[in-house]
Structure 1
Amino acid sequence: MSIDLEKAPFTGEAGEDEGWLYVARAELVLARPDHRQLTAAALDPDPLQLMASACAHADAELGEEVQLVVDLVPVSGPRVARRRRLLLRHAQQRGPSAFGEQLASADGAGPGGRWWSNAAGGLNAGGWGRGQGTGRVSRASDLAAGVGKFLPVADAQVFAVQVLLRAVAPHPAQAEGLLHRVMAVMDAWSGENWWRPRGPRFGAWHPYSDVWWLRRSFDRRFETGEFAPSRRQWVTGREIAALLKPPSVHCAASNVVRTGGVVPAAPAQLPEWTGQPGVVPLGLVTGPDGRERLGAVPQEDVLFGAGLGRSGFGKSELALLQALTLAYGGFGVWFLDPHGAAVQRALPYLTHPALKDRVLLIDVSVKDPLARIGAWNPLSMEGREAHQVQEVVGAVVGGLASAQGWGDRAPRARAILSHAVQVLAHLALLMCEQGCPDLQPTLFSITRLLTDEEWRTEILKQLPKRLSRFWQQTFPQYEAGAVPVVTQMLEQLETSDSLRAFLGQPRSTYDVRAAMDENKIVLLRCSGSGSGDQIITSLLLFDLFLAGLSREGVEQEDLETMFAFADELTAIDGASRGYVAAILEQLRKYEVRLMGLTQMVMRLSEETRQALMQNQSLLTATGADHNEAAFVAKRLDGIAPEVLEQLAKYQYVASTMLDGERTTPFRVRGVAVHQALADYYRPDLMPTLNEAIDRNLKRRPVGEVLRVLDGDEDQLPGLENAILTHLKNLTPTQTPTIEQSEVA
């Protein structure tokens, strides 16, 4: 082994010879004439497993590397035919042989004259040697012995080949060792022929292509790609195919870069995203032309979407990018984030003057009494009429029952809750009619109504007498244990100051139906409130569902589109008790489009999973375990589960509807929000955005809201006591009669 004196500087650790790298070179040539066949290496086990194992001994941190370069040039058919005829002539001169011994000719006319004439005639379709007699027909084995692997078969593509091997290491012995390891790999192709290194051999010293008269030619070909093998050597495609293919599934080496399986290119008609409105961005895609671009789907083709895959692999990042893009495009956005991380990341991108007046932030995780919060009173009758009381009852009872998963299993609790909400809705209507909307009851008034008989009696005095019938005749018949079933869920809400402040204000400032119609950007964070997380999530999701249904009767062209994003859909589905499926099944016609994201689609409820898979028009999947991958792969035609299992972070396989037709799955490389929307990131304008949100939602400090709700010892009586005082002060002329209430 010689030492190359022209070394590249090396900055890593290299032992005693720090800063020097040593190169070992070898050109591999065929040991026997090239018509002798190499063994076509099998695919199982994959011969590249040996190559990967040899390369694993190279320490990249020390600058070690091994490179095997295989250059191929196709050989034309006429050249192969000429080569075949030459081989036949040489074989004719030698005569036939068997077991290594030459045989006499069949007719004595020279060494194998007639026999080889027939062989040549067979190879050339009778074009040569025709009319020279009718000898015996040549055997296939005789032909193979004469021309070797260059038999005239249709699929035998022939290539001229040049094989260069180069190893680099901080020590010459290490470089030589790496070189020999890879040379040993080439033994997998040994058969009638085999690969051997070119170069002189001096006893135990084998310098190969490192000798001075070979080194310059080797380096020139290695660096420039020049094809100038030391001698002619032809191989067939079958012989060399195993060396040219990428590693297969049978190559289990850990140091192999995986392609992630076969995934088709993105459709040529997939729009390129350049920032234009009206599209839902996907990320970087590669089209049939090989050009990488930012792909997007027209928003009219996206009715519902599903993002599936492991935590931390980019589902939320993609959803956040889509939500922000749609918001800038003028669409309404409703983003429910149980954990709040995505919401906090989104805010600095929404400070643009064109957007800030549309932003509504509901964060029930706040702990500071000075933190500001909006208001939502599901019992509010402000702006409503008497006949809408039943809508309020249905919404509140449905939401609370859904959160508790009552279904048909708690008829007494549902009956008690329904009548309680009915009474409080009528009370809220009365307060609005009296010009006192600030004295409307809230959800927390349900507990007072059920447990304080004096308060309930005074309330019922002011309401139509038909509402008292249940409380006077039926309610006393229920056993004592029926009431706690209702009150315990409200007591869970009362454990969170932020939830009490959000739900305990008489006048609502959050109206999801208005947000739909006015293209608002609604960001909701529903975690951090303790045991009330699931209840508030269920209430908000049910409210979205009812708001969508309330659009019935509106002309389709008058409906504004709202995209609703539900991150961590598994947790939300558990709280929604079936209303996610209802949204997926019923709200498309009302222009409410849900995009659901989940780590484990198999953990969704059966009805939600079926509705999501049936109705999704945009499916993106990233890394998953075997069971999840097997389920999702069935929805991605032609994609093996192993492809999804091997996807790296921020890599997706997507399938979408495009112009009314489902596309074949294609690969997407994720783009981070801070890359795509860098020009819109303005954290310095957050104070301005917070002021705008305060105006949009009329937010008030949590501490101030609670003081009004609970009262204090000095001045404030508390909301429910204030309601009672107001009712006691009503004159008989101010108290509505049954007929007046019903007419109202």
Structure 2
Amino acid sequence: MTVSLAKGYAQEPETGRRLYVARAELVLAEPDHRPLACPGLKPDPLQRIAAAMASVRSQDGEEAQVVVDLVAVAPKVVARRRRRLMARAARRGPSAYGERITSGGSGSGSVWSQVMAGLNGGTAAPGRAGSRVPRQSDLADGVGKFTPGGETFAVQVLVCATATHPARARAHLNHLLAAVEVFSGPNRWRPVGPRWGGWRPYSNVWWRRASFDRRLASGEFAPARRQWVTTKEIAGFLKPPTVHCAASNVVRGGGVVPAVPAGVPEWTGQRDVVPLGAVTGPEGRRLVGVYERDLLFGAYLGKSGFGKTELALLQAISRAYAGRGGWFLDPHGEALARSRPYLAHPAVMDRLWQVDLSTPSMSDRVACWNPLSMEGKRPEQIQEVIGAVVGGVASAQGWGDGAPRARTILSNAVATLAELSLRMVADGHPQLQPTVFQIKTLLNDADWRQEVLARLPRRLSKFWLTSFPKLSGEAVPIVTNVLDRLEASLSLRAFFGSPRSTYDVRRAMDTSRVVWICPSGTGESDDLVCSLLLFDLFLAGLSRRDTAVKDRATFWAFVDELTGVDNAARGYIAKVLEQLRKYEVRLMAMTQMAMRLKDSTRQALMQNQSVLSVTGADTDEARYVAARLPHVAPETVTRLRKYQYVMSVMLHGERTTPFRVDGVPIHEVLADYYNPEGLPALDAAIDANLARRTVAEITERLDDLDEDILKHVVTWPLQPAGGARAGGAAASGDVSSAADGDAGVDGGA
């Protein structure tokens, strides 16, 4: 067995640059039955060796090595050696402090004893009968470390240093020789070779150099002399560096993590297995996954840039090719750009939807979503529309219970416009349904509001005639300010500005569409968009109660950068985690810090996750996660390298022990699907799938929508006599009286 402690080349040395080598072979300075010191683990004995190697400039081609070669010695050979040592101790007689005890205090004591024995007929003189019998302590000292039990090895220790200058090579060698002094005790290591005065060439002399180099290169076992060591003595060389070895130039093992459980399935592209990454075991390196039926929700935690998004991409793309529907919220758009060439395939592109809200040009084609659309919906679903819009806006703005007037105004505005949408659809004009931007028109344009309400059911007019004039003028701007921010963004005007939706997440669930959504990544408007989208996802999942369980297609939702999204959603992530499992909606969430999530979200995520994955993390975060990973220390989590994870998954309904997983990039696993030449065809397919239109067309139509709606509304008959008509005496912003019991300015807007 050979153990090598080395500092290897970081790069090839410069061409033609000469390197100098210093060599030394270490042997035991005392007889080998005397033991070396057995240093403990604190401090780590390898600390000094690592420190000695720290000065090696590997970028210049320098190198330092300590090579320990071991050959096991047969127990019967050790027993024979032990008997010889015991016989020698018996011949030596009693001793003290390593010196033989004589009878008269002089060297003639033993001769006098023999004379007295002859005069007494061959018996020793009285009082000297036991003078030749060694004590037990003498026998133990004579046998030394070769007591029965334990393993014994013949050892060969070679130390070599290479440098760009002979003085540096000798300095590295001397540092290493000083480092092994940590093993000095009754015995110690010393270099063989001449040592005359200040000249210390050791094994660099010409008659030793060839043998040294041959043994170093080939592993030949031919030590300078026979020397045996026990396991305890040599263990300090054999073990890896521990946590008590603080040197920075040590390759770390990453801590102790249990092996991958035997039942974890290998992933070879099966439809019912979700990939996790690569593991190394007795079978070699292989890709593993988790069964779909065992994966309900997933939590992927760790530092930015450590591969969480790459793992999510692998899972999302593999689910798409497995025929499953998916929804990927990508706040920064990087994941979409990376995944597009792998989705340009006939098996996927006909099901792909792309909603990109980054800054578009007027000629770009975009998808549209009208949260107020009633196309394909029943009158009783108006309450769902109200809940989705008001809940999304209130969550994004953080209204909570602090803005009751703003919530009241927005709820009635949405109810009125949803009723108007329902009437337009029934009238055969879905292209005239109001959008969220008509909320401003309804609140600020009294004449427009009067004409619309005069032709809608009387119950809707009651609020606008009796309650709206009494509300504070400060409440309406809180609502309209939100819409002003949406209207200021060209991409959001295009996305929300069409009366007819091409984006419908419930339809995506039922038809296994693959949906990719990329907000612009910054600004308060993104919070509102993410909040509306997540609340819409939640309500769409709940609406699947009208579908038989066996007919509900599994739908995978991936949310990247969950912390930022959670701040916008304000609790709806937790509702998805708690309620949508039974409706076959499964959420995979990626976040850098679980501690920054809202309490309700974090608790729901930890409670319901089927996969818990963590990569490198800060100490506090690592301590929180490690508490949920048995047998894994927080220090192990903090030392995880890029693209390396510790995971615990559900397997056949039971939680597995944690195991180490190496991330695999999609360009390696999905190389066969890489098709950058197919991107134009992919864009054409998305245009067809979502009926995308240009930004210019949508915004131009939006500018005329108020007038077009009013032109059609005035063709409808007025409400019967006695129906309420909303007068214009109290337009929004002109009323100063507040509703009774509703004091104070709406907070949190």
Q: TM-score, normalised by structure 2?
A: 0.89
State the distance in 2 between where 1:388 and 1:609 align.
31
The answer to whether 1:515 aligns with 2:508 is yes
Q: Work out which of the residue numbers 321, 325, 342 in structure 1 matches 2:314.
A: 321
CA contact (8 A) 1:464 1:736 kept: no
Per the alignment, do residues 634 and 376 of structure 1 end up closer, same or farther by CA in structure 2, a change over 3 Å counting?
Answer: same
CA contact (8 A) 2:92 2:134 kept: no
Q: CA RMSD in A?
A: 2.5
User: 1:528 deviation in Å?
Assistant: 4.7
SS in 2 for 1:667: strand
| 1:424-456 superposed Cα distances (whole Å, 9 cap, x missing partner) | 111001111111100001111111111111111
Alignment size in residue pairs: 694
Runs of 4+ in 1 over 4 A off after TM superposition: 133-140, 735-738
1:143-542 correspondence runs (5 A) = 143-152=139-148, 154=149, 156-287=150-281, 289=282, 291-528=284-521, 530-542=523-535
Identity of aligned residues (%): 59
State the distance in 2 between where 1:484 and 1:595 align.
37
SS in 2 for 1:369: coil
State the distance in 1 between where 2:448 and 2:276 align.
57
User: 1:212 deviation in Å?
Assistant: 3.3
SS in 2 for 1:639: coil
State the distance in 1 between where 2:235 and 2:377 align.
77
User: 1:146 deviation in Å?
Assistant: 2.0
Per the alignment, do residues 138 and 271 of structure 1 end up closer, same or farther by CA in structure 2, a change over 3 Å counting?
Answer: farther
The answer to whether 1:141 aligns with 2:137 is yes
SS in 2 for 1:354: helix
User: 1:709 deviation in Å?
Assistant: 0.3
Q: Work out which of the residue numbers 74, 85, 88 in structure 1 matches 2:86.
A: 88
The answer to whether 1:55 aligns with 2:53 is yes
Q: Show structure 1 runs of 5+ residues with no match.
A: 1-7, 114-132, 711-717, 739-744
CA contact (8 A) 1:495 1:530 kept: no
Per the alignment, do residues 561 and 71 of structure 1 end up closer, same or farther by CA in structure 2, a change over 3 Å counting?
Answer: same
User: 1:418 deviation in Å?
Assistant: 1.4
SS in 2 for 1:282: strand
User: 1:278 deviation in Å?
Assistant: 2.2
SS in 2 for 1:550: helix
State the distance in 1 between where 2:623 and 2:133 align.
57
Per the alignment, do residues 198 and 389 of structure 1 end up closer, same or farther by CA in structure 2, a change over 3 Å counting?
Answer: same
User: 1:140 deviation in Å?
Assistant: 5.9
The structure showing larger relative contact order (alpha-carbon pairs under 8 Å, at least 6 residues apart) is 2
Per the alignment, do residues 306 and 33 of structure 1 end up closer, same or farther by CA in structure 2, a change over 3 Å counting?
Answer: same
Q: Show structure 2 runs of 5+ residues with no match.
A: 1-8, 114-128, 724-749
CA contact (8 A) 2:388 2:539 kept: yes
| 1:268-300 superposed Cα distances (whole Å, 9 cap, x missing partner) | 22222223322221222112x161112222222
Between 561-570 and 480-489, the greater mean CA deviation after superposition: 480-489
Between 655-664 and 310-319, the greater mean CA deviation after superposition: 655-664
CA contact (8 A) 1:538 1:575 kept: yes
User: 1:138 deviation in Å?
Assistant: 8.4
SS in 2 for 1:551: helix
Q: What does residue 721 of structure 1 align with?
A: 707
SS in 2 for 1:534: helix
State the distance in 2 between where 1:500 and 1:214 align.
84
Q: What does residue 116 of structure 1 align with?
A: none
User: 1:75 deviation in Å?
Assistant: 2.5
Q: Which residue identity is paired with 2:264? A: L
| 1:196-235 superposed Cα distances (whole Å, 9 cap, x missing partner) | 1122334432332233333333222212222222222111
Q: What does residue 657 of structure 1 align with?
A: 650
CA contact (8 A) 2:519 2:529 kept: yes
CA contact (8 A) 2:370 2:500 kept: yes
Q: Which residue identity is paired with 2:190? A: R
CA contact (8 A) 2:277 2:289 kept: yes
User: 1:74 deviation in Å?
Assistant: 2.5
CA contact (8 A) 1:498 1:529 kept: no
State the distance in 1 between where 2:503 and 2:635 align.
46
| 1:661-688 superposed Cα distances (whole Å, 9 cap, x missing partner) | 2122111111111121122111111111
Q: What does residue 597 of structure 1 align with?
A: 590
Per the alignment, do residues 548 and 110 of structure 1 end up closer, same or farther by CA in structure 2, a change over 3 Å counting?
Answer: farther
Q: What does residue 681 of structure 1 align with?
A: 674
Q: Which residue identity is paired with 1:193? A: N
CA contact (8 A) 2:54 2:249 kept: yes
CA contact (8 A) 2:643 2:662 kept: yes
State the distance in 1 between where 2:713 and 2:722 align.
14
CA contact (8 A) 1:273 1:296 kept: yes
State the distance in 1 between where 2:138 and 2:598 align.
70
Q: What does residue 614 of structure 1 align with?
A: 607
